[in-house]
Amino acid sequence: MKSQPDQKNGKDFRFRDFSEWNEDERVAVQVPKTVRRHMVIVLESSRNTKGYVKILTIKSSQHQPNIDANFFIPIAPSPKNHSIDKQLKFAGVGVTWGGIVTYRLHKLSYVRVDKVFEVPMSVLEPCHWKDEHIRLQNTSWRSLVAHMKKLEQNPA
């Protein structure tokens, strides 16, 4: 897997306001309200449902009651999680990070990997910064996909 073949993979989105969803979307999408308040990253297209994508939530803390901290992968500049040897980076816009121009969130942020949701693309809207769609660097996206496949094969 050399690149992001699907243009939405690895990109940041937020949920459209629930009042804008049509009746079918409201019935079909079983995502908690707390998740709908956060930015999400599209992992990949759903293999099961056409027009749906798999998403992961971006959180501002890795300290959640009764949830292993290793289920939260830091996004730079949040410090690298050394026990799982992971840190994700945004690309393309924002501030210089090691010679590469990259986007930086206002808070320390983490991708929560223990809960994957499948939603229609129609309930999401892109997150932009200076007219650029915020996205992970390709290497970070590939690392995230590989990590998720490993979790799928070896669930906790």
Average pLDDT of the residues in 37-60: 94
Which domains does the chain possess?
12-153 (3.10.129)
Alpha carbon 7 to its chain centroid, in Å, reads: 14
Looking at residue 2, what is its pLDDT?
Answer: 43
Which tokens is 150 given?
Answer: 């490993």
Q: Which residue, among 143, 104, 111, 124, has the nearest Cα to 45 in the 3D structure?
A: 124
pTM beyond 0.75: yes
What is the rounded CA–CA span in Å between residue 24 and residue 45?
A: 19
For the chain, the farthest-separated pair of C-alpha atoms sits apart, in whole angstroms, at 47
Half-sphere exposure of 133 (CA within 13 A, CB side): 15
pLDDT in tens, 139-148: 999 999 999 9
Q: Which residue, among 94, 96, 106, has the nearest Cα to 134 in the 3D structure?
A: 94
Average pLDDT of the residues in 25-54: 93
pLDDT in tens, 117-143: 999 999 999 987 766 778 898 999 999
Q: Is the pLDDT of residue 1 over 50?
A: no
pLDDT in tens, 63-103: 778 888 889 999 887 888 888 888 898 876 555 555 555 54
pLDDT in tens, 102-112: 545 557 889 99
The answer to whether 130 and 93 are in contact (CB under 8 A) is yes
